[in-house]
A and B are shown apart, each in its own frame.
Chain A
Amino acid sequence: MSAILQIRDLRKVYDGGFEALKGVTLDIEEGEILALLGPNGAGKTTLISTLCGITEPTSGSATVAGFDIKTQYRQARELIGLVPQEINLEPFSYVGANLHFSRGLFGKPRDDAKVEDVLRKLALWDKRANRVRELSGGMKRRVLIGKALAHEPRVLFLDEPTAGVDVALRKEMWDVVADLKAAGVTIILTTHYIEEAEAMADRVAVIRGGEILMVEKTADLMSRLGRKELTVELREPLTEVPAALSDYDLQLSADGTALTYSYDTQAERTGIAGLMRAFTDAGIVLKDLHTSQSSLEDIFVDLVEEGADT
């Protein structure tokens, strides 16, 4: 795998003096899905806009498949598709015409078969002769994706693809993204839904205050920073945590039927074996037990709060 997108010390200072990007350096591998995770105002959209040519970088550089985004902007931009955060579509235009327009704008010859293919994949083929304003919100969002895909980009930017979208539609978007990845498209998506990054991304880049705090494989990140929780359901409810178990930091549920034990998966000793023995010794009968990994959300909140302290 090679980096299809190379960002080097990219800075953006807006006219008012606000520094939205403080020297971002990042490599994105061909074919991967990278989630750009960060709170509102972290610089996610600015980074995408700068890479796509909508805002001019103050300094630094970036290349797409080796083409510089400033000096070789034609070659670079031909490879990029952008799905913006807002639903920006001409309400009176037709769905099919929208895709043909985008394709032409990116210098590709008219190709009815290709446009049909994209529309079918996005379940929009039946709507091709409809006006944009007749579509539902989810369909409009898919038209935006269709427009971005009409010129067959190798890199696709999805700026908060599921912001303000209901659960069913979010799942639908995830499927669309999975299909694109299968087709070999490199995808960079911004989100502040952590579960989205967790579900889709190969790697996660955490951005805050215009700086990339960390970039890591989603799985590594989860295991490195992840804590697990062991929940033990009890046959007989307890009123308090027995004294024999006081060595372990246990939380008793409100109804007294479950005990929760939190541990670090990476630690030398997790303490689970000892805990089990202690249960037996104390004569507590277990009904069931299960473990759960702390979500990326917890990790993310930890990270951002850590950053805020410094």
Chain B
Amino acid sequence: MNFWTDPLKVAAEWLEGILTGWGMDAIFAHVLVVFLGVLLLITILMVLDIFLVWIERKVVSRFQDRIGPNRVGPYGLIQPFADIIKLIIKEDTTPDGADKVVYNLAPILSMMSVLIVWAVVPIAPVILGTDLNVGVLFLIAAGAIGTLSIIMAGWSSNNKFALIGGFRQVAMMVAFEIPMLTMLLIPTIFAGSMNMNAIIQAQGSIWYFFLSPLGTLIFLIAVIAELGRAPFDLAEGESELVAGYNTEYSGMKFGMFYAGELLHAMTFGGIWGILFFGGYRFFGLEQVSPFLAVLIFLAKALIGYWVIMWVKYTMMRIRIDQMLAFNWMFLTPLSFVLLMVTALANALLAGTSIWVYGIGMFASNIILGWVALEIVRSYSRKEREKLEGPRKVAEAHH
């Protein structure tokens, strides 16, 4: 064991050796070293978060046929630092009648709910916060704190728009948590564990994307809704609700919501990669060095983040009734049927070769997705005919 194969452990043991050498209690030294490790990880995440601002702005401008920030530093790379200085020196206003304690607590909880997700994210085989055996459910628990922070922000601002936006957002988040939870069950079934690292290890022969393409897609939709990004950004529809729950926030408190949202998107891009695309695995490259594994994971997380941005800047916003109908009448039943089909196919195909198993799983997903789309198509055709009358024959001949 040396620094290049297990950097965290070597560094931790070296530090603990120094600390106990000074006469510190062994347990206390261990906790202190872990604290420093957590501080290091979160600091790195916050620095990454600063660059996510630049990435997001650069990508959106490309989607919209603009150039984006390009004045401050090479390629506008220094721009996010200028943004941060601006946020820090802005006046921090508190609206009249706001509930001060709750108002100030909300942005802190919002950021914290994103940062604690990283406690269970395996960045490399040996670089991970903690190996909780309930890792998958921990994601949902962390999300619960985020939901709470939005309710707190919306309610404490003493603003109608913030209140309505907050409640819309929460109604959407709880609605899409059902498909998300159900899709989390699918990697759990395949891996036989809720531990994130075990789920990655179990994807050695085949990524779960190939076993459950439909599940991958539903999880992505649920993640986008959970993030409140377009097409599900009706909670901060700027043309009707100013900015939703964070309308009254300014300065660094707004910055926390903003940075939290970007980091949340990147984090869930990474989790999408972990659950369905093998996390830090890439054709055995992760065995070479843990540092290479970190790079692979980061690349997958950024690709996931890019897909989320791609959806955001391509789709238009949907209405709340459409969003709820889409979730409760389409996505939720579909995800439950998919779960049952997956469990059944998993039992029936157990013991067969990886090719038969993989093709069977893939085919069952594709067939299910096709059937679901056909049902929705015939339903929407019926609805359209109800509104517009049957399609004219003459038009059909054109």
A and B: real partners?
no
Q: Which B residues contact A (CB, under 8 angstroms)?
A: none
Q: Which A residues contact B (CB, under 8 angstroms)?
A: none
